[in-house]
Structure 1
């Protein structure tokens, strides 16, 4: 029922009630009318504030896009997005910021189209993606080919990565070999990601901190060239700024550097990305997620501790190592990963140094201190299902 109808019906009910009981209630009736008018005014103000906030958000995004017009990719209408995706027919995946669909441009090029959820704060994730990737040009950074911003609708068009994300090639619950990358390819992927991060941290005019490095956000081309994607949490900072300030915690649990959620460990900086990279590399080495790794059922297991204790052993105990060359590749990745996950940012290497470890000689490989942060205690499923 509309407000005017509700108002009129209320007045009639009150009038009939007062007539029935014989009370002169002009004063009370006036008070009721005044209350209803206040309610109407409050509703109007609430609607008005919501409208102006939404309008301000759209105006801010439009102003931003106008500012980046010279470097931003092609802008599409939403009707174009529907044509490109064939009315969103082929869904590739879904994340926290929206769904991704396979599409085809007019020239026949395959693309991945991310349809962003509406009302994500002030559109920060949309602005982050456009601002960050528009400033990049690197073989290990996914290319943003176009975007759409039309009212409440937003979309981002990326180059299509036939092999999907890295996670499906390193997490395989059913087999330790089928569908997983060999050690040569694992090292090549780790090096490619490191080069991409080094570029973001040092190669751009404006330093870009990603804040969400994880296997899901690493896409693989047809020849398994890794490309860093999903810049929704990224932060741009001047080259002169060694530390950045955050309004809230950013990232994915398991990959978030200690200083991001506890400033006592140090300031948030590009070293926070280094930590996330290290956790990801160790997962690539282990061939499975930390919480699902092979364990002794009588003890708690934390993969970085386990692999650190096996560094000096002739047999590291990892899957797929058949010769000395593969052993050395695995060892380089382990050492690089362990250096990257040092608790204090000052102890972590830059991505340039990480590349030196991965591509350098074994004789100069320096073993890092053992990481002292571990996963929280947990009960193993095997124990709880025994009865």
Structure 2
């Protein structure tokens, strides 16, 4: 494997050196926040090297607007953060959609038609039939949806490709006009016929290069041109004797440089062979070759973080830095400085998250294992951890951040769904063992994602009780059975307990007394909140602003008190927790008062302001 990698490195470097020496077109180029781009795109430095020239790539500011001119129209160019697709933004179309002007339905979208004889631009589209409402056109409702957003017009559409349906149902639309307009996602269904929000001015574009031109560029290193008679020919550059000498000299120099690099790599490799922890992790990675996360070199990690310039957080595990992948996607890069359990934490993290795919579980995009360097690369969460919205001292900017009851309720349900998935939705059962506000991350829409699987345990789905040598988790959130087996066996119900304590902690952030209840002795918050619930007293929590908030808070309170029952068998499974949270409050009974095994309150356990 390593010999192949070295050979590939050697050959790819020689190709790059030869291409540079000959002055040919580079195989790729970096274009700011768009990342690495390839043919048929090119930049203004090499306009002859492609079919679509992107302006703004050479600007020192990565976030400078990138544009392309096609068929006389200018487009802003961005990249979809989710799948890396290139998006063409049509400003004129965007204005029509934002201002809800029905003129947008007047004509077919032709701005992506290209005059190039070597290229076509494809995009997802929606076929619409615009019919005068007085015609009373009634096509089968099982096939076509209807929108009445424009006065005096009935607009019929079918979200999926409808060419076959159009031919078959043509008689219905003989008196109507057919219009084709761009959309961004064919899986989404328009809400109540609101086509203004369904159509998109940010258009995912796929550039298709015709076969002869593609072969000319990739196989012969030529450029696509037309002769005087309009016929295609591949213009190839001839190499002069002087250029050949330069190529040979450059190749030799490059080869010597690569040999030196290989010597350093081999030296490092044989050094690592003697490191048992390194070997153990490498063996794990070999046995799990199907992992979805990509492996990066430490050099690539430095590049994506701009040499670790933007620090997001610091903690006992190490540091988290903001980074950007080559496709432009923002990431959070976690550098592990302390390795616990001979690499178990690193393995747990990579193994656990790589088995998951859920909206409420953070995505592991990559990792790095190189010598003593261990790095985990996650999707970037703009709002950081839930912790800073609960503990004032954890908000580095001291903005006194708060969550309204609806947002808090949505976060609570999202975390419950994530845990339900870990316990029942995966091929194997994953027990997290460290659910707390610090390990719940929030995206730009405050959608919660469970993170930090360093203490997780993977076990067969049918196994209900797991063996545990030592307690794991954070004080204040650890279930009693993890300390003392007399309370019961360790199982998925241990995560349920931590979840319940976390929800109570979210509810416990109050305006009075530095935003917190006094957690000493009899005023320990679960006792305090249970007493108020029994006496039907107002909870006076800071998120309560209106009557609906009171109902949501009461529901979260009752469910969380069920979750922290001392006897694990009395705690609901996470699937039941989701059902209780989403159901009617009238169906909920106040649980027995839990015998709390410890008066140690949940508290912020670490100094990090950003967690993964």
1:180 aligns with 2:406: no
* Distance change >3 Å, CA 368–CA 187, structure 1 → 2: same
In structure 2, the residue matched to 1:12 is none
In structure 2, the residue matched to 1:246 is 468
In structure 1, the residue matched to 2:481 is 259
Tell me how far 1:109 sits from its aligned partner: 1.0
CA distance in 1, matches of 2:363, 2:519: 44
CA contact (8 A) 1:172 1:288 kept: no
In structure 2, the residue matched to 1:154 is 374
Which of 550, 570, 574 is residue 351 of structure 1 equivalent to? 574
Which of 520, 523, 541 is residue 318 of structure 1 equivalent to? 541
* Distance change >3 Å, CA 253–CA 288, structure 1 → 2: farther
In structure 2, the residue matched to 1:268 is 490
In structure 1, the residue matched to 2:145 is none
In structure 1, the residue matched to 2:436 is 214
Which of 265, 275, 287 is residue 67 of structure 1 equivalent to? 287
Q: TM-score, normalised by structure 2?
A: 0.51
CA contact (8 A) 2:479 2:497 kept: yes
Aligned residues: 326
In structure 2, the residue matched to 1:371 is 594
CA distance in 1, matches of 2:413, 2:600: 33
Question: CA deviation digits over 1:169-190, x for unaligned, max 9?
Answer: 1223699x94110000000000
* Distance change >3 Å, CA 150–CA 174, structure 1 → 2: closer
Tell me how far 1:71 sits from its aligned partner: 2.5
* Distance change >3 Å, CA 119–CA 365, structure 1 → 2: closer
1:140 aligns with 2:363: no
In structure 2, the residue matched to 1:336 is 559
CA contact (8 A) 2:423 2:429 kept: yes
CA contact (8 A) 1:118 1:152 kept: no
Tell me how far 1:94 sits from its aligned partner: 2.2
Tell me how far 1:59 sits from its aligned partner: 1.9
CA distance in 2, matches of 1:118, 1:187: 35
In structure 1, the residue matched to 2:506 is 284
CA distance in 1, matches of 2:327, 2:600: 54
What stretches of structure 1 of length at least 5 have no aligned partner? Answer: 1-50, 379-387
Secondary structure in 2 matching 1:334: helix
What does residue range 90-239 of structure 1 map to in structure 2 within 5 Å? 90-172=310-392, 178-239=400-461
* Distance change >3 Å, CA 113–CA 77, structure 1 → 2: same
In structure 2, the residue matched to 1:37 is none
CA contact (8 A) 1:171 1:288 kept: no
Tell me how far 1:72 sits from its aligned partner: 3.3
CA distance in 2, matches of 1:301, 1:109: 47
Which of 302, 319, 329 is residue 82 of structure 1 equivalent to? 302
CA contact (8 A) 1:134 1:144 kept: yes
* Distance change >3 Å, CA 245–CA 53, structure 1 → 2: farther
In structure 2, the residue matched to 1:384 is none
* Distance change >3 Å, CA 243–CA 95, structure 1 → 2: farther
CA distance in 1, matches of 2:362, 2:439: 10
Whose strand proportion is higher, 1 or 2?
Answer: 2
CA contact (8 A) 1:65 1:72 kept: no
CA contact (8 A) 1:339 1:349 kept: yes
Segments ≥4 residues shifted beyond 4 Å = 51-54, 288-292
CA distance in 2, matches of 1:173, 1:155: 28
* Distance change >3 Å, CA 317–CA 230, structure 1 → 2: same
Tell me how far 1:95 sits from its aligned partner: 2.9
CA distance in 2, matches of 1:192, 1:234: 19
In structure 1, the residue matched to 2:63 is none
CA distance in 2, matches of 1:70, 1:351: 29
What does residue range 41-56 of structure 1 map to in structure 2 within 5 Å? 55-56=275-276
* Distance change >3 Å, CA 152–CA 196, structure 1 → 2: same
Whose helix proportion is higher, 1 or 2?
Answer: 1
* Distance change >3 Å, CA 364–CA 214, structure 1 → 2: same
* Distance change >3 Å, CA 295–CA 248, structure 1 → 2: closer
CA contact (8 A) 2:386 2:440 kept: yes
* Distance change >3 Å, CA 342–CA 377, structure 1 → 2: closer
Tell me how far 1:107 sits from its aligned partner: 1.4
CA contact (8 A) 1:333 1:358 kept: yes
CA contact (8 A) 2:481 2:487 kept: yes
In structure 1, the residue matched to 2:185 is none
Tell me how far 1:108 sits from its aligned partner: 1.4
Tell me how far 1:83 sits from its aligned partner: 0.8
Tell me how far 1:53 sits from its aligned partner: 9.7
Tell me how far 1:282 sits from its aligned partner: 0.3
Larger Rg: 2
Tell me how far 1:156 sits from its aligned partner: 0.5
Structure possessing the higher relative contact order (Cα contacts under 8 Å, 6 or more residues apart): 1
